[in-house]
Amino acid sequence: MTGRRAGFRHRGLLTRPAAAGRDTMRPMSRPARQLAGPLPALALLCGVPAAVLLVPVLLEVEVPLNAAGTWSVSFWNARVRVSNQPEARAAEAALHRYSREYWAQWRRHQREPGVPPPAPFAPPARVGYRGWSANLALPILILASLSLACHLLHRRDRRVRRARRVAGRCAACDYDLRFSPERCPECGAPAVALREHGPGASARVSRA
């Protein structure tokens, strides 16, 4: 096999490493780079809705409670509170008693929790919703995390390839191209891009 591996001296009997601590990470394959290319934009589009949906939503500020009390329902990782409006006076004990009885009856006949019927609470009623939209936010958050990870790998791959080209090595297989300026003798990749990375790389090619 002709040519010399990058990282070892070309002349002399000693073959000790020429650049200690160089990056030995292999670049991503071509299909992986094509897949990771558009994912940063997808991560941005998915990250913004995920950040909004993960914030607890409060549609209506709850009023101070009065003698009519407060009724709460928990369902789908959320919480619904139903309370009387300030117009309902504390002296309206009949409304309070009727609401409690109807609420207990409704709870016994419902197999699954949900939004209570508005009949016993109308008109003096107010409904407030506070909860996490986990069913929508978690899939978007997972997709955004995967997209961000692919983007970071893509940036790492470009940095490794650029460092190899500047050092006079093949970006695909890390072969020494200082004495094979036209094409890599190991993997066959063209070495034309070596001339596009500054006067140092051009000087190495010209000396070859």
At residue 106, the pLDDT reads 52
> What is the rounded CA–CA span in Å between residue 18 and residue 34?
33
At residue 57, the pLDDT reads 43
At residue 201, the pLDDT reads 42
Q: Block means of pLDDT (10 residues each) for the chain, length 208 residues?
A: 41 37 55 63 65 48 43 48 50 55 54 49 44 62 79 80 74 73 74 47 41
| Residue of 196, 176, 201 lying closest to 187 (CA atoms) | 176
Domain boundaries, the chain: 30-52+136-207, 57-131
Q: For the chain, where are the alpha helices, taking DSSP H only? A: 30-36, 39-53, 93-109, 134-166, 198-207
- Backbone φ, ψ for residue 57 (5° rounding): -95, 130
At residue 108, the pLDDT reads 53
> What is the rounded CA–CA span in Å between residue 19 and residue 7?
6
